[in-house]
Structure 1
């Protein structure tokens, strides 16, 4: 290739490069100008928004540090009206003339129209009348004996009336450590207080809404009630223990949470006072001193005669417990009937 032609091509390439460089510089300047314009536009929007906010009327707002939630008041002895006292157990178990309307007296016979092919035993009466054998035994034996079931033709005992639809309702006042047992007649919507028990409750804990390790609220009671005697071994808190030393002779567990509960049902229940080993005799002594005190891990404690009585009643019927700090705040079902008609 001749020198003049080479010079021509070089000149063309040089001018082309210079033109491209100028074009790139111009485009870059345009982009920077656009970005700068956008930033200015955004700044103007923000300034305008700040002006609008500043023009709004001033409304005082409480800061979080000004909001204080008072802790629940500690459970202390109350001086106002006490929990109603009552004991109608005689009218429930007695076969005499002044029975409560929810029971009827049966005269035992082995030949009954509702069972064919074999004689009827006490357990058959229990199933037919939906009344626990423990309840029948107490009425039959006419004393606090829930296990002996020696029955003869002509023996008399009480059962729950088949034509009565009832449920039981327990109301526990934590401040007073007292618990009322009611029956509710579901047909008439009447409520009758049967007995008031002195109880032991969970240890005091001011951090809890109840003021105690015992939770507040309504719980249903399970009908699978455990009966313990000396020598019965089980597990408690993952340790093998003699159950009577923890639960006494009966364990009535909570079944499920119903309303306004501050704790779960699992692990809570009603049981007897613990039995302690007597080092001298190697026998057992019931720790009756724990009743009326805040001394448990959250469960409700009763004396042996009280927990065995209660278990015999609620074992075969639906039952609910409502736990409150003060019985006056309770939401009891039904209409109170102070003096039920005798049957």
Structure 2
């Protein structure tokens, strides 16, 4: 009897040992090898069979945030958008109706006694040399003005009674660029741009250092290069560090202006000196960090500059695009 008793006890102990070993094995295998791209190494992550409630709540929060972002995009999508700037410079039938194509000749009926150069064409057609250069070069090169008889380029039509108009939405940091044919009252959106604006200021009527209202742009424009020096806030400085490569001032108040135009204007993003080289600080565009001026990326500023400075141009700054008067006038 004692032998049978010992056998039964031994069997019970054996089954108990097998059960414990199986449980430990399952726990040991309950891991998965994954790749952590941030730490760039393989690590073990314990599998959790039941998702904690906190994780579920976090997923819901993320989903709600995405929905809000989508709603905002839908609202913005209802605003006009376009980019037909290249049609200013097209030499075929796709060109804008406010430009015409000229074939260069040094002998022209409107200039006597000497050959006509690009500067003369620029003056006669009230079109900037930068505009003509881009048309001649078939690219955004605003300085090379080599021309030979027979070369073709575009100019703004001399007989067109037109003006340019900019609408700047302070809440979205965006600008809409239009031309307005004053004879037909046709208003055409040419392009939309991202802009940088003045810092937020609750004491100002606009809510920013950038004002609201309609202004006429001035003629005292400037082009800045790396070595162009000037004074800013009583300090002599390389102007490109403040105003980028171009400057167009606000000039006259037209309607509903909350601030004087003095000292305000449209200019390029500032440039930084890094390792003895100048680099554009492109992050300034799209932010509210200026002293009130409107900032554009250099390629946008140079493009706009080449088109508008030879013709009457107004800028309308509003809290929301839908507040602008330009689109609503004479509808």
TM-score of Structure 1 vs Structure 2, range by shorter chain: 0.7 to 0.9
What SS does structure 2 have at the residue aligned with 1:81? Answer: helix
CA distance in 2 between counterparts of 1:170 and 1:223 reads 16
Residues 275-307 of structure 1 deviation map (CA, whole Å, 9 limit, x = unaligned): 0000x3x10100001111111111000000000
Whichever of the two has the greater Rg, that structure is 1
CA distance in 2 between counterparts of 1:194 and 1:335 reads 18
Instruction: Return the match for 1:131 from 127, 134, 153.
Output: 127
Uncovered stretches (5+) of structure 1, i.e. residues with no partner:
1-76, 338-343
Structure 1 residue 256 corresponds to structure 2 residue 252: yes
| Cα RMSD, aligned residues only | 1.6
Q: 1:333, CA displacement in angstroms?
A: 5.5
CA distance in 2 between counterparts of 1:334 and 1:194 reads 18
Structure 1 residue 191 corresponds to structure 2 residue 187: yes
Q: Which residue of 2 aligns with 1:217?
A: 213
Residues 163-213 of structure 1 deviation map (CA, whole Å, 9 limit, x = unaligned): 211000000001110001101101001111111000000011122221111
- In the superposition, the TM-score normalised over structure 2's length comes to 0.76
CA distance in 2 between counterparts of 1:254 and 1:274 reads 18
Structure 1 residue 288 corresponds to structure 2 residue 282: yes
Q: Which residue of 2 aligns with 1:306?
A: 300
Q: Which residue of 2 aligns with 1:81?
A: 76
CA distance in 2 between counterparts of 1:253 and 1:224 reads 7
CA distance in 1 between counterparts of 2:117 and 2:285 reads 38
CA distance in 2 between counterparts of 1:330 and 1:160 reads 26
CA distance in 2 between counterparts of 1:151 and 1:307 reads 25
Question: CA contact under 8 A between 1:169 and 1:183: conserved in structure 2?
Answer: yes
Structure 1 residue 245 corresponds to structure 2 residue 257: no
Instruction: Return the match for 1:154 from 150, 153, 160.
Output: 150
Moved more, 328-337 or 264-273: 328-337
CA distance in 1 between counterparts of 2:328 and 2:122 reads 28
Q: 1:114, CA displacement in angstroms?
A: 0.9
What SS does structure 2 have at the residue aligned with 1:168? Answer: strand
Residues 38-96 of structure 1 deviation map (CA, whole Å, 9 limit, x = unaligned): xxxxxxxxxxxxxxxxxxxxxxxxxxxxxxxxxxxxxxx99333442211111111212
After TM superposition, the structure 1 = structure 2 runs for residues 1-343 of structure 1, keeping only pairs within 5 Å, are 79=72, 80-82=75-77, 83-278=79-274, 280=275, 282-332=276-326
Q: 1:336, CA displacement in angstroms?
A: 9.6
More contact order relative to length (CA 8 Å, sep ≥ 6): 1
Q: Which residue of 2 aligns with 1:66?
A: none
What SS does structure 1 have at the residue aligned with 2:192? Answer: strand
Uncovered stretches (5+) of structure 2, i.e. residues with no partner:
1-68
